[in-house]
Structure 1
Amino acid sequence: MTHASKDIIEKIHRYWRAANYLSVGQIYLLDNPLLKKPLKIEHIKPRLLGHWGTTPGLNFIYVHLNRVIKEQDLDVIYICGPGHGGPAMVASTYLEGTYSELYPDITQDESGMKKLFKQFSFPGGIPSHAAPETPGSIHEGGELGYALSHAFGAAFDNPDLIVACVVGDGEAETGPLATAWHSNKFLNPIHDGAVLPILHLNGYKIANPTVLARISAEELSQLLRGYGYKPYFVEGSEPMAMHRSMAETLDTVIGEIKAIQQEARRKGKATRPQWPMIVLRTPKGWTGPAEVDGKQVEGTWRSHQVPLSQPADKPAHVKMLEKWMKSYGPNELFDAEGRLVPQLSEMAPQGDRRMGANRHANGGLLLRQLRMPDFRDYAVEVPGPGEVQAEATRVLGQFLRDIMKLNMDRRNFRVFGPDETASNRLDALFEVTNRTWLAQTEPGDDHLSPDGRVMEILSEHTCQGWLEGYLLTGRHGFFSCYEAFVHIVDSMFNQHAKWLQVAQDEIPWRRPIASLNYLLTSHVWRQDHNGFSHQDPGFVDLVMNKKADVVRVYLPPDANTLLSVADHCLRSRDYVNVIVAGKQPEAQWLDMDAAVRHCTSGIGIWEWASNDRGSEPDVVMACAGDIPTKEVLAAVSMLRQHAPDLKMRVINVVDLMTLQAKEEHPHGLSDYEFDTLFTTDKPIIFAYHGYPYLIHRLTYRRTNHRNLHVRGYKEEGTTTTPFDMLVLNDMDRFHLVQDVIDRVPKLGTMAAYVRQEVRDKLIAHHHYIREHGEDMPEVRDWKWSTG
């Protein structure tokens, strides 16, 4: 039985009516917010934008959560999965008072209500979904599929938090959401909070029925039980009966959540329970117009957006809208000044127990600095450039291991990745923690534990969603991924980057959060064994489309620069940091002091590889990325042997943003600085890790752009040898030498002999790999030398 009395149920119903009234008002009204005057066309927005269909169900859930929060003093955040649920989230946070506290001009009276209505989906106003502007939100509702993974990310390491996650039945058809159901196999009832999924079945998407609404209740129940949940069904359309059913169900599931956690915490043993969830089946567009222009609306796809969409052309629609809004009884809900009547306002929780004011939904309020060891303590000893080899990401793994160890008691740092932590050479982490796992285990399983802090599931979507939820609720994380397959989360990156941009630029009450840090490894130049499908460096191009305030891209050439970059990224706030670094044994170029100086600048001349000091160079040899750096140095070494009088300047780029103009990015070089490095008239041969066009895009306004020649990946690949990958894309040392020959006239007649030698080398390479299946010894065993 529910704790909610008949009186409470009646108040819940009235509060729900108030939320629905405010939601309809946001979609339609410019003026006359309390309908004190007969509604006229001039009171209605000229462009009607918004989504009604999902809104009454979202309001219904919100008010019922308010009751249990207040009665049981619960810590709850609300994740609104349905894409355009903004009217509900804004209405509910306005009713509880949070909205007016954060936006003081939106007062809780008639004047404030008018502003609340006008701003919705209006120029200079707010979006139609649960956006960063929406109090209590950590989930951008503009794109579907991520609500559940965000919810679990928020619950990890938050033992007292309940995350109520509304999953729309349209959203439930997406791949990311379908996989995210499995997150319950990673939730530890001792140390983590709880996720309460609420699958909202209202039957339709924009124009079609939803799959889960059109299968039998038995089949749906079996599906959800198969995922490991215990579903409770709340179904119907009669409001009072639905309120009683929802209240009773919420009391039951909250009780089960508490019992699961109490038992696990009392015994100190984490097993995987059958977590409860709710299936809420309501009509789409519930309480809206039943019929418009002779066609059924309520309970159909026609209620998805704006049910009465032509008031300017159809005066009857104005009357219908007025009747619809008055059906909620606004004069019974709001006083003459437009304030919610006291017996309803007291229904909301107080302070930060309000879901719109919950501190977890503004994670920067809870963020604590990571305890960080000194990255210099992990330095690779480099007595001279190229004299030692190391696996850069394996060195990084030792640094991450000790960060994990130092923060174990705080439980505020996790490492995420799709089953690739060991493959990406970060397995030193397993010296101090395990992989999180609450499903079955068998003898021989490797580093699985309910208390593990490495999060692995073979779904980039779920890993990213977990990490975003973790970051947005005030913690720190690190995401490693194969470079080619990080594209799977392209749109998720877009959403998160846009969230950060809006939060930084427009929402002062949102506190900075820890940056989202990507490590892209197993990269294009060392995916020779996996073949063409694994060869794609294009994620960086996508990232570079975002505003300078949000994104950073780093290409450290060796282990010590990788350590310096990683330390910087993990200390940063409100960025998306992308680090590209290989995991294979490679030559190390800089000792730690030099690495720190180089990374601090982001770009610089490698004097030890150059020979132009005190004079103008004949050619600038630039590189960005570990393998391009190696090939440029090999080309420079060859040219020094064959053309010792050739003056070469070697420039390495760690921070890709330095190539942009200073006016476009805070890390960008001024034109003077750029010209000083790259000259104003000398040829530049630039070996770049990714697609060459990006370098041109970043530098097209520079003085010497006309002399810039970029080599990079040009979509040539196969299963072959590492060096052949470079040859296929004309980024090998021999092609780089040819590029210099073609662009430096002073080489004169010598050029013909050098050209013939590199041509012969390329022919020899072609035959050798096809006979022996590996690269030539002179390539495999090459070491840096100036003579």
Structure 2
Amino acid sequence: MSEAPPSSALRELSEDDLLGDRLRDDGLSGVDAYWRAANYLSAGQIYLLANPLLREPLRPEHIKPRLLGHWGTTPGLNFVYAHLNRVIRAGDRDVIHVTGPGHGGPGTLANTWLEGSYSEAYPEVSQDEHGMRELFRQFSFPGGVPSHVAPEVPGSIHEGGELGYSLAHAYGAALDNPDLLVACVVGDGEAETGPLAASWHLNKFLDPAHDGAVLPILHLNGYKIANPTLLARIPQSELDSLLRGYGYAPRYVSGSDPATMHRAMAAAMDSALAEIDDIQRRARSGLDRRRPVWPMIVLRSPKGWTGPSVVDGVPVEGTWRAHQVPLSGVRERPDHLAALEKWLRSYRPEELFDASGAPVERVRAMAPTGTRRMGANPHANGGLLLRPLRLPDFRECAAEVAEPGGTTAEPTRLLGRWLREVARENAGYRNFRVFGPDETASNRLDAVYDVTDKQWQAEIIDTDEHLAGDGRVIEVLSEHLCQGLLEGYLLTGRHGLFNCYEAFIHIVDSMFNQHAKWLKTSGRLPWRRPVASLNYLLTSHVWRQDHNGFSHQDPGFIDHALNKKAEVIRVYLPPDANTLLSVADHCLRSRDYVNIVVAGKNETPNWLSIEDAVLHCARGAGIWDWASSDTGGEPDVVLACAGDAPTLEVLAAVSLLREHLPRLKVRVVNVVDLMRLQPATEHPHGLTDPEFDALFTTDKPIIFAYHGYPWLIHRLTYRRANHGNLHVRGYKEEGTTTTPFDMLVLNDMDRFRLVIDVLDRVPGLGVGTASLRQAMVDKRNRHHAWIRAHGEDLPEVRHWAWVN
């Protein structure tokens, strides 16, 4: 049998005894009532199917058949929410709430229901007994809502199902939002993750003159699911030194007695917000542009606070046993059922909800009104605030192309010039940023520094370049932080681009997963407004990482991304600079997608004029007539390509075939939108079967040179009529430090290998072209000897150019 929770002592104390005259005047007795109501609703969600107001004694049939959810962190989260409501009302503050502890869903659901924002989004979950029953029933129930703070929850921009990203999301939301306060609860389990540990440094990027503020609240409740947490078990002096070393001024709130804790939290929040106001006032008036020491709060409260203290003779409150469901045998064991009823009644629901089941006036008055409610704040539904970018004409940055391959360019350098103009055009709106892990210049996007600097609040010395307190570029050597900042920025209604080396974007595989799932879910919620797409530019790619070697050679992020739902994912492989510009313009205009653009930064032939590039990108996949020799009829073979290096090798192979087999009819198909390969029934961009067959034929050999792992092309096309004739060349995990062309040879995607593939697969060519096949094999062998003797590729490879 459980013991009475600590909060039961409140019944024996008068309001004067509990809070004192000063604190009663500050409204803390109302805050306590609100907190109790949120705790009651949170516990009810985990347990109750019926009898939500305990109008009759609890019976087993009132209990859910499967008890799911996480109680342990929830009372602390409710405590923070209640106190944030107090400071919002007192100062008319603009605040959103980021919940780091992963499964604190019951708390945020309870609070948004109490403030009314949940019922506005879901009228069927009304603020009465019927709505309370629906709130309880839907939680972790088939057809209901998850146990974490998912997109379905008003006021949320942070899913929390995977730990480590809350603080990065919070700082991303605060960028360019000068009047916004982002209160971010960091769980002590979450604080053990690498991304969160790095996120403490993001205060070095927050500009108090132009950005909003983040108030981190480190919630030390001592335990994860089965183990203690590190930050809760180190000495207070060590914890304080750690947080001060990160650049914060912590305020500590510690204990379990509600009266004492309310007083301490009110004082800590008032002190922290006064300090934030002073920091911003001094920065915005020009009095102090030094990097500030931002305040934060450390809340140390028991795990499962106010829940059962002892169950079956073992401690629960304040231990890991409170993490999930403190009383698990409620339907089967009368003693557990009685303990649950005692626990729920300890919150005194009859004082908190009226006869209809609605929160009483005393509780309702503790919540802010209108858009000041954290569940109704428009920053947490960023599409409400989204302003379209002013996009300059990308054609003005295009490469001149009089004939295919006649000029060369570094594709991402041209893109950088266009992004410079995007940054210039939108400078006044402060709604566009570029994020990257120390690679913006390396990836040839440094033209943006002509109009903006890199934002940086740490020390700047004379030899530094392009560092300033305010800038449109943020670089930090953590892909996790770049992704988290950008997600927070997008979800609060702005636009951005994440540029990264292709091999290392895998570091954010899980973060990408969470964001893609968020977009998929939010797209089905009518009250969630579309947000700007998450745009990845992956460059320094596998085929030009010859100098860095095997560790930098991995094109597999595309494979990972294509596991997500088709309505969210777009993948583009522009073959040259002008197609890259057209694709980038499209991506920055799009909404609710994840756009993955893979493009090289090295000197590459320009194949298409800007007019032809726009048409080709609109098609997504098409025949390059100027490179083909089938003269609009049936080809003998289709040579397809997707990606800049594969395109170059296909065209080089075509030139060899023209030279040695002039009567062979070759069709060249270039794919810039990879999703075009899927059937139209599987992806919105997919080709219908007649469209696909018109491009690739129904019975001719197809040699496909692809940027990434070859089996992905088979996966995308396995339903097509001519799949049996499809042969794909791509990266097959053969890499080393070598020359660019040798990377192609190692993976059998070089021009000589492609010619051999044609000879081996076009009927009738095999016997009559033995000498040509041998010559191609000899070319590969000569290449092998040449690079080891000279350290560079064959002259005929280095100096090859397309000739019509």
- Which TM-score tier does this pair reach, normalised by the shorter chain? over 0.9
Match of 2:424, SS state, is helix
* 1:302-451 pair list within 5 angstroms: 302-451=321-470
| Cα shift at 1:313 | 2.8
* 1:287-302 pair list within 5 angstroms: 287-302=306-321
Rounded Cα–Cα distance in structure 1 between residues aligned with 2:98 and 2:783: 57
Residue 515 of structure 1 is matched in structure 2 by 533
Say if 2:180 is the partner of 1:185: no
Distance 1:298-1:610 versus aligned 2 partners, 3 A rule: same
Rounded Cα–Cα distance in structure 2 between residues aligned with 1:269 and 1:235: 33
Say if 2:571 is the partner of 1:591: no
Rounded Cα–Cα distance in structure 1 between residues aligned with 2:285 and 2:462: 27
Residue type of the alignment partner of 1:301: W
| From 580, 588, 593, the counterpart of 1:575 | 593
Residue 740 of structure 2 is matched in structure 1 by 722
Match of 1:747, SS state, is coil
Contact (CA 8 Å) 1:3, 1:248: kept in 2 or not? no
Residue 10 of structure 2 is matched in structure 1 by none
Residue 16 of structure 1 is matched in structure 2 by 35
Residue 689 of structure 2 is matched in structure 1 by 671
* 1:222-233 pair list within 5 angstroms: 222-233=241-252
Residue type of the alignment partner of 1:140: E
| From 584, 599, 607, the counterpart of 2:625 | 607
| From 255, 277, 282, the counterpart of 1:263 | 282
Residue 736 of structure 1 is matched in structure 2 by 754
Distance 1:24-1:750 versus aligned 2 partners, 3 A rule: same
Which segment is superposed worse, 315-324 or 516-525?
A: 315-324
After superposing on structure 2, the runs of 4+ consecutive aligned residues of structure 1 that deviate more than 3 Å are 1-7
* 1:68-83 pair list within 5 angstroms: 68-83=87-102
| Cα shift at 1:7 | 6.4
Rounded Cα–Cα distance in structure 2 between residues aligned with 1:107 and 1:451: 45
Contact (CA 8 Å) 2:85, 2:367: kept in 1 or not? yes
Distance 1:770-1:215 versus aligned 2 partners, 3 A rule: same
Residue type of the alignment partner of 1:373: P
Rounded Cα–Cα distance in structure 2 between residues aligned with 1:175 and 1:270: 30
TM-score (ref. length: structure 1): 0.99
| Cα shift at 1:3 | 7.9
| Cα shift at 1:269 | 5.3
Rounded Cα–Cα distance in structure 1 between residues aligned with 2:22 and 2:199: 32
Residue 6 of structure 2 is matched in structure 1 by none
Contact (CA 8 Å) 2:499, 2:539: kept in 1 or not? yes
Rounded Cα–Cα distance in structure 1 between residues aligned with 2:406 and 2:67: 68
Match of 2:571, SS state, is strand
Rounded Cα–Cα distance in structure 1 between residues aligned with 2:766 and 2:206: 69
Residue type of the alignment partner of 2:97: Y
1:686-714 Cα offsets, whole Å, 9 max, x none, are: 00000001000000000000000000000
Say if 2:506 is the partner of 1:487: yes
* 1:606-685 pair list within 5 angstroms: 606-685=624-703
1:332-365 Cα offsets, whole Å, 9 max, x none, are: 1111111111122111101000000001000000
Match of 2:772, SS state, is helix
| Cα shift at 1:615 | 2.5
Rounded Cα–Cα distance in structure 2 between residues aligned with 1:381 and 1:746: 41
| Cα shift at 1:75 | 0.3
Contact (CA 8 Å) 1:188, 1:271: kept in 2 or not? no
Contact (CA 8 Å) 2:413, 2:447: kept in 1 or not? yes
Residue type of the alignment partner of 2:778: D
Match of 1:612, SS state, is coil
Residue type of the alignment partner of 1:73: D
Rounded Cα–Cα distance in structure 1 between residues aligned with 2:588 and 2:406: 29
Contact (CA 8 Å) 1:661, 1:669: kept in 2 or not? yes
| Cα shift at 1:548 | 1.0
Contact (CA 8 Å) 1:2, 1:247: kept in 2 or not? no
Residue type of the alignment partner of 2:692: F
Say what the alpha-carbon RMSD is for the aligned residues: 1.1
Contact (CA 8 Å) 1:2, 1:248: kept in 2 or not? no
Distance 1:732-1:147 versus aligned 2 partners, 3 A rule: same
1:376-423 Cα offsets, whole Å, 9 max, x none, are: 111100111111110000000000000000111110000000000000
Contact (CA 8 Å) 2:109, 2:118: kept in 1 or not? yes
Say if 2:299 is the partner of 1:280: yes
Distance 1:421-1:268 versus aligned 2 partners, 3 A rule: farther
| From 524, 529, 532, the counterpart of 2:542 | 524
Residue 707 of structure 2 is matched in structure 1 by 689
* 1:101-180 pair list within 5 angstroms: 101-180=120-199
TM-score (ref. length: structure 2): 0.97
1:64-87 Cα offsets, whole Å, 9 max, x none, are: 000000010000000000000000
Distance 1:617-1:198 versus aligned 2 partners, 3 A rule: same
Residue 25 of structure 1 is matched in structure 2 by 44
Rounded Cα–Cα distance in structure 1 between residues aligned with 2:26 and 2:41: 23
| Cα shift at 1:131 | 0.4
Residue 710 of structure 1 is matched in structure 2 by 728
Contact (CA 8 Å) 1:612, 1:649: kept in 2 or not? yes
| Cα shift at 1:14 | 1.0
1:481-529 Cα offsets, whole Å, 9 max, x none, are: 0000000000000000000000002x11000000000000000000000
Rounded Cα–Cα distance in structure 1 between residues aligned with 2:447 and 2:332: 68
Rounded Cα–Cα distance in structure 2 between residues aligned with 1:616 and 1:376: 35
Gaps of 5+ in 2: 1-19
Contact (CA 8 Å) 2:183, 2:215: kept in 1 or not? yes
1:39-77 Cα offsets, whole Å, 9 max, x none, are: 011000000110000000000000000000001000000
1:593-626 Cα offsets, whole Å, 9 max, x none, are: 1000000000000000001024210100000000
Residue 551 of structure 1 is matched in structure 2 by 569
Residue 497 of structure 1 is matched in structure 2 by 516
Rounded Cα–Cα distance in structure 2 between residues aligned with 1:711 and 1:612: 22
Gaps of 5+ in 1: none
Rounded Cα–Cα distance in structure 1 between residues aligned with 2:693 and 2:447: 43
Residue 230 of structure 2 is matched in structure 1 by 211
| From 47, 50, 53, the counterpart of 2:66 | 47
Contact (CA 8 Å) 1:352, 1:359: kept in 2 or not? yes
| From 100, 107, 123, the counterpart of 2:119 | 100
Rounded Cα–Cα distance in structure 1 between residues aligned with 2:69 and 2:631: 64
Distance 1:576-1:283 versus aligned 2 partners, 3 A rule: same
Rounded Cα–Cα distance in structure 1 between residues aligned with 2:60 and 2:680: 50
Residue type of the alignment partner of 1:61: V
Distance 1:7-1:267 versus aligned 2 partners, 3 A rule: closer
Match of 1:537, SS state, is coil
| From 263, 266, 270, the counterpart of 1:247 | 266
Match of 1:414, SS state, is strand
| Cα shift at 1:20 | 0.1
> Percent identity of the aligned residues?
70
Residue 786 of structure 2 is matched in structure 1 by 768
Residue type of the alignment partner of 2:711: Y
Contact (CA 8 Å) 1:643, 1:747: kept in 2 or not? no
Match of 1:213, SS state, is coil
Match of 1:267, SS state, is coil
1:288-337 Cα offsets, whole Å, 9 max, x none, are: 00011111000000000000112233221111111100000000111111
Rounded Cα–Cα distance in structure 1 between residues aligned with 2:297 and 2:344: 29
| Cα shift at 1:105 | 0.5
Residue type of the alignment partner of 1:166: V
1:266-287 Cα offsets, whole Å, 9 max, x none, are: 1165321000000000000000
